[in-house]
Structure 1
Amino acid sequence: MNAYINTVQTNDLTRTFGDFTAVNKVNFYIPKGEIFGLLGPNGAGKTTTIRMLCGIIAPTSGEASVLGFNIKKDASDIKKNIGYMSQRFSLYDDLTATENLSFYSSIYGVHNGDRKKRIQNLIDQSGLRGYENELTRSLSGAWRQRLALACAIAHKPPMLFLDEATAGVDPVSRREFWDLIYEMAGEGTSILATTHYMDEAEYCNTIGMMYEGELVALASPDTLKDGLPGILLQVSTSDPLAAESVAEKVAGVTDAALHGVRLHVAMRNENVIPALKAAFQQAQIQFSDMEIIQPSLEDVFISMVEERLQKNGSQKKGER
């Protein structure tokens, strides 16, 4: 294995498809044992980034290394030493859980003498004990997900890539899945996970927020939330849609967005609250509660996107 400081290191990593730039000059690094989350909507460039780092597609420009291997020159070495799991993980339905684990262990080169013990360890680690002889087709989505993770780490990879691995799984199962990920990170495995679930990003040590192929933010979850300027007000109202439209026009309000049946209003400071109340009263919008709250990662992401859109709009005006 090559000597390396960070398990992943990128330098202006870029990938274009014709005239379309899917990933644009992305820079980040992942230390050993850290959980790094790439957060963003579908089409943000998360999967393309992972595919480059896994050696599946080559970058158009820029550089990156994984476990000390160059993604352009050493793609085959990278593939041997990483684990990879996506939402469309490949399991063989006609095989039992144990048979799937045996197959992937052989594919990943686990020595025959070690394979049986390794499979039993994987069954215990993933909580599959009692399901190991079940046909894979009979397993629920959550248990299939656990089996897929076990298959992906059959060879004890020091680096694991998870590409929307929890998509379509219920919240309780997602939490249990992340408990397994935490356990692996505690044992020294580095993990890069892409997700569009904002709550999942809270589990990561560092988050890279991607939008339209670019990293718009890079920090720990707490740092990102603490860095949101001004204050965030949560409003309970009988007509959230109308309240959102009114709030956006109030001087001092920087953003307004629906969160379920409540409205989140970002503003410069508390002095804006009286103006917001007055605007609601004038529009005959009833509200039962207003409270200053800690921003969520979703609030941060929306703010980052709004800032980027405003910046791009200003640039376009300047070009005219």
Structure 2
Amino acid sequence: MSPAPATIEATELHISRGHTKILRGLDFTVDSGRITGLLGPSGSGKTTLMRAIVGVQRITRGAVTVMGSPAGSASLRHDVGYVTQGASVYGDLSVEANVRYFGAMHGATAADVTEAIDAVGLAPLARQKAADLSGGQFSRVSLACALVAHPKLLILDEPTVGLDPVLRAELWERFAAMAASGTTLLVSSHVMEEASHCSSLLLLREGLLLAQLTPAELAARGGSDDLERAFLTIIKAADRGEAESEVAS
């Protein structure tokens, strides 16, 4: 029996906007049932990569496949959840109505709706209009709308921004439980402390993939248990390498 294909596979992925190169030759695979962290400073190309995986970003060259099909294929519609940085919910609907609406597209049950709302800590506010919530609460409604479909692949663009430490910890526990049950999660962040929650890390810098490694490998390669310091060490080494290449040429 041949092994199952990777949940995500990128091959020589290039994306440009006009004359600006956003992603430059990315090659990586993401296995199923794991939390993969997509880490890098602002402007490194994290959101562009996520959009390419979902299938809403034009690819200049190369390819991205998701569960064996080209990214964006109609067959993936019910299997991929995507939570953007900007919450995609209806302000004039209640929390429950929003989640129920998005769940209906995927055949979700009333129990699924309740479970998704509970998972993001909004059960006490389920009947409240989304527009009346705080910014952090509003973004959690969007997350619940993605969770209700029980996607096989869940892509989260900076899901913990603006959340208090207790809720951040609860969400990471939820993500870990989902991965343990077989869901694949790709979570972007520029907060390096969150890297420790991931099984694998993709480190982006100015559109380049610097490394794909585990948190332990990052600490070892960067020479520090402080993952932010370790990442900075890798970035500086990459910058030195580019500078040396320019001098040699």
TM-score (structure 1 length as normaliser): 0.72
Any idea what SS the aligned residue of 1:183 has?
helix
The one-letter amino acid of 1:172's match is V
Q: Which residue of 1 aligns with 2:106?
A: 109
Q: Does 1:315 align with 2:245?
A: yes
CA offsets 1:270-313 (integer angstroms, 9 cap, x no match)? xxxxxxxxxxxxxxxxxxxxxxxx43111121111111211121
The reply to whether residue 98 of structure 1 matches residue 116 of structure 2 is no
Q: Which of 128, 138, 141 matches 1:144?
A: 138
Hey, what does 1:54 align to over in structure 2? 54
Change (3 A) 1:187 1:75: same
CA distance in 2, matches of 1:119, 1:92: 16
TM-score by length of 2: 0.91
Partner SS, residue 125 of structure 2: coil
Matches within 5 A, 1:223-302: 223-229=217-223, 294-302=224-232
* Structure-1 separation of matches of 2:118 and 2:68: 31
The alpha carbon displacement at 1:169 in A equals: 2.5
- SS at the partner of 1:28? strand
Provide the rounded CA distance (Å) in 2 between the counterparts of 1:125 and 1:164: 17
State the shift of 1:125 in Å: 3.3
Spell out, residue by residue over 1:186-213, the C-alpha distance to the aligned partner (whole angstroms, 9 max, x if none). Answer: 2111000111011111111000110010
Q: Deviations over 1:243-279 (max 9, x none)?
A: xxxxxxxxxxxxxxxxxxxxxxxxxxxxxxxxxxxxx
Tell me, in whole angstroms, the C-alpha distance in 1 between the residues paired with 2:98 and 2:227: 37
- Comparing 15-24 with 119-128, greater Cα deviation is found at 119-128
Asked if the contact 2:222/2:234 (under 8 Å) is kept, the reply is no
Any residues of structure 2 matched to 1:34-73 within 5 Å, and which?
34-71=34-71
Residue identity in the other structure for 1:223? E
Over the matched positions of the two proteins, sequence identity in percent amounts to: 30
- Match runs of 1:154-165 below 5 Å: 154-165=148-159
Q: Which amino acid aligns with 2:85?
A: Q
Query: How many residues matched?
Result: 247
The Cα shift of 1:4 comes to 4.3
Distance 2:114 2:170 in 1: 20
Alignment partner, residue 120 of structure 1: 114
Distance change >3 Å, CA 306–CA 316, structure 1 → 2 = same
Which residue matches 2:78?
80
Instruction: List, as ranges, runs of 4+ consecutive aligned residues in structure 1 with deviation greater than 4 Å.
Output: none
Residues 1:170 and 2:167 aligned together: no
Q: Partners of 1:16 and 1:44 in 2: how far apart?
A: 13
What are structure 1's unaligned runs of at least 5 residues? Answer: 230-293
- Preserved contact between residue 12 and residue 61 of structure 1 (Cα < 8 Å): yes
Return the offset for 1:124: 3.2
* Structure-2 change in CA distance of 1:38 and 1:313 (3 Å): same
Q: Which has the higher contact order (CA 8 A, sep 6+)?
A: 2
- Over residues 166-188 of structure 1, what are the superposed CA-to-partner deviations in whole Å (9 max), with x where a residue is unaligned? 22323333222212211211211
Computing the radius of gyration over CA atoms, which structure comes out larger, 1 or 2? 1
**CA–CA separation in structure 2 for the residues paired with 1:141 and 1:189:** 27
Deviation (angstroms), 1:120: 2.3
Q: What is the letter of the counterpart of residue 131 of structure 1?
A: L
Residues 218, 231 of structure 2: 8 Å contact kept = no
